[in-house]
Structure 1
Amino acid sequence: MSPQKRATVVSTSVATLLLVVKLAIGIASGSVAVLASAIDSLLDMAVSMFNFFAIKKSEEDPDDIYQYGKGKIQAIASVIEGTVITISGIYIIYVAIEKLIQGNPTKLLTPSIMAMLFSIVVTYLLVRYLINIAEKTNNLVIKADALHYKTDLWSNAAVLVALGLVALTGLDEVDAIFGMGIGFYIIYSAYEIIVEGIEILLDKSLDGDMVAKIGEIISNHPEVTSYHWLKTRTDGSTNFVEFHMVLRPNMLLLEAHRIADEVEEKIMKLDDKRRWLITPHFDPYDDEDINVAMLHGKPLMDLEKVSQ
């Protein structure tokens, strides 16, 4: 089992344990904050299970139908996870408003506080573990899971503060207000996860620094006259790079292939945590204007004028 799949199994198990503890205490005590945290753990469990299957699919080798692999399943999983987090935040806000209106009392404060302390310790250990796996694998799903549980850590701390204030002041409204704040924070935290997943689905280029380094590697090769039409994207686990490099018109194909291998080897060293699929194109002269014209759908006659 790969480290990233093992991480989803661990996070699912932890979420299940915390769900049982929080749900029992939340229902018994009537605390909106604890109940909201239990709902969040239920969603954590479902999302982590989904992530396991998403990673399993994304690791499958390319085939005749999916020739570039299924890496974008990770991005789809991130968007779904972010959406689920957002929905849970909205529901928590709804429950908090309902408690403010109805004024339901909070009971069993001591067991609730103990349950949240236990949850904070366990969640902290899980976050450290997921961050470690994310740094080693650079896997988008694990990064999203780590961010998700990191927000849980802060929300658990907020629940603990809310319960402490209720115990000190006797004001049950504090529980509802903190629960509402947690709901808004959860929605805010989901935004980054959703955006990153959508950017991958829309084939956003690699970050500017990475693209600049790739261009520098190509242009610095002593036998490359120039380059153009550099395009990059990622599916979360594989970086895709295409470019045209201008070589001597009379160069042997064997020499051109050697140059491409040397350039590709240097590019792949920029990030050894991800796979690379690099597609170079050999040009005997700079035909960037023709490529741009083709991109804009110019007729063949116009392209002939550009090349002259």
Structure 2
Amino acid sequence: MRLEKKATVVSTSVAAVLVLMKMTVGIFSGSIAVLASAIDSLLDLIVSLFNYFALNSAEKDPDDKFHFGRSKIEPLAAVIEGFVISFSALFIFYEAISKIVSYKPMEYIGTSVTVMVASFVITAFLVAFLNYVAKKTKNMVIKADALHYKTDLFSNGAILLALLLISYTGEHLIDPILGMGIAIYMIYSAAPIIKEGMLMLLDAAPAPEDVAKIEALLDVQKDINGYHDLKTRESGSHIFISVHVVFNVSISLYDAHLISDRLEAKLRELFNDKHVHILIHMDPYDDSEMNVIEDGY
């Protein structure tokens, strides 16, 4: 099993445990903050399950229906996760407003504190593990999952602090006010996940520094006369590169292929942590101006 899939299994298991703990205490104590955290953990469980099946589908080989594979399932999963976080945040915000309007004091504060301490420790270990996997694999789904649980870690810490303040001050309005703050932070955290996923779904180019690395490599190749029409896109853990390479008009097709093969190998070395797909058009002369005219520019 790939490390990414193992990470989703771990996060799913942890989310299931947290849901059971928080939901029980949230319902009996009447705490909006704890209940909000329980709902968030329930969504974590659903999203982690979805991520597992998304990664499982994304790694399938191309077939007659999907000639380029299913790599876009990864950014799609990230976008869905971002929207799930946002909608759950809106629900938490609504519940917090409702509690302010119809005031009701919390109960079982001591039990709530114990559960949130355990939740904070468990989530901290999970975030450290997911960050390790995300850094090692560069997988967008795991990166989104790590960020999601990181927001949980901050919210758990804030809820724990609020419960302690309530137990010392007796001011129960701290609970819904904190719930509103958590909701706003969750939406703020979801925005970059949605943005990055949408850019991948729209075939946006990789980061400028990655494109610059490709251009720098092409610029120093002595076996070619130049290049043009460099196009790149990123989809999950896959990078697609298309470029027209200009050879001497007298070169044999065999030699041009050998040079192209070596160039492909060098391009793949630039992105060892990703699946790199390269399409090199071998031109016997620079036809870039002709391509511009044909494209209608």
Q: TM-score range by the shorter chain?
A: over 0.9
Distance 1:64 1:292 in 2: 33
Q: Is 1:29 aligned to 2:29, yes or no?
A: yes
Q: What does residue range 197-208 of structure 1 map to in structure 2 within 5 Å?
A: 197-208=197-208
Q: TM-score, normalised by structure 2?
A: 0.98
Which residue type is aligned with residue 239 of structure 1? I
Matching residue of 1:129: 129
Distance 2:113 2:295 in 1: 62
Matching residue of 2:175: 175
Distance 2:242 2:94 in 1: 49
Matching residue of 1:262: 262
Matching residue of 2:75: 75
State the 4+ residue runs in structure 1 displaced beyond 4 angstroms: none
> What residue ranges of structure 2 are gaps of 5+ in the alignment?
none
What is the DSSP-based 3-state SS (H/G/I as helix, E as strand, rest coil) of the residue aligned with 1:60?
coil
Matching residue of 2:90: 90
Matching residue of 2:144: 144
C-alpha deviation, 1:288, in angstroms: 1.2
Q: TM-score, normalised by structure 1?
A: 0.95
* Greater shift in the superposed pair: 1-10 or 53-62: 1-10
Matching residue of 2:63: 63
Retained in 2: the 8 A contact 1:33–1:176?
Answer: yes
Once the two structures are superposed, what CA deviation does each residue of 1:42-100 show, in whole Å capped at 9, x if it has no partner? 00000000001000000000112111100000111111110000000000000000111
Matching residue of 1:233: 233
C-alpha deviation, 1:252, in angstroms: 0.5
* Greater shift in the superposed pair: 45-54 or 137-146: 137-146
Matching residue of 1:16: 16
Distance 1:164 1:228 in 2: 63
C-alpha deviation, 1:26, in angstroms: 0.5
Distance 2:272 2:42 in 1: 35
Which residue type is aligned with residue 53 of structure 2? F
Which residue type is aligned with residue 234 of structure 2? T
Retained in 2: the 8 A contact 1:219–1:225?
Answer: no
C-alpha deviation, 1:226, in angstroms: 1.0
Which residue type is aligned with residue 245 of structure 1? V
Matching residue of 2:185: 185
Which residue type is aligned with residue 72 of structure 2? K
C-alpha deviation, 1:294, in angstroms: 2.5
Matching residue of 1:281: 281
> What residue ranges of structure 1 are gaps of 5+ in the alignment?
299-308
What is the DSSP-based 3-state SS (H/G/I as helix, E as strand, rest coil) of the residue aligned with 1:269?
helix
Which residue type is aligned with residue 117 of structure 1? V
C-alpha deviation, 1:162, in angstroms: 1.1
Cα RMSD after superposing both structures: 1.0
Matching residue of 2:211: 211
Distance 2:210 2:124 in 1: 32
Matching residue of 1:106: 106
Matching residue of 1:119: 119
Once the two structures are superposed, what CA deviation does each residue of 1:150-203 show, in whole Å capped at 9, x if it has no partner? 111001111111111111111111111001000010011111111111000000
Once the two structures are superposed, what CA deviation does each residue of 1:29-51 show, in whole Å capped at 9, x if it has no partner? 11100000000000000000000
Distance 2:170 2:295 in 1: 68
What is the DSSP-based 3-state SS (H/G/I as helix, E as strand, rest coil) of the residue aligned with 1:240?
strand
C-alpha deviation, 1:128, in angstroms: 0.8
Once the two structures are superposed, what CA deviation does each residue of 1:204-246 show, in whole Å capped at 9, x if it has no partner? 0011111111111112111111111000011111110000111
Distance 2:191 2:83 in 1: 9
Which residue type is aligned with residue 66 of structure 2? Y
Once the two structures are superposed, what CA deviation does each residue of 1:105-132 show, in whole Å capped at 9, x if it has no partner? 0111111111111001000100111111
Which residue type is aligned with residue 105 of structure 1? P
What is the DSSP-based 3-state SS (H/G/I as helix, E as strand, rest coil) of the residue aligned with 2:67?
coil
Retained in 2: the 8 A contact 1:241–1:277?
Answer: yes
Q: Is 1:5 aligned to 2:5, yes or no?
A: yes
C-alpha deviation, 1:262, in angstroms: 1.6
Distance 1:124 1:149 in 2: 9
Distance 1:73 1:293 in 2: 36
What is the DSSP-based 3-state SS (H/G/I as helix, E as strand, rest coil) of the residue aligned with 1:278?
strand
C-alpha deviation, 1:293, in angstroms: 2.4
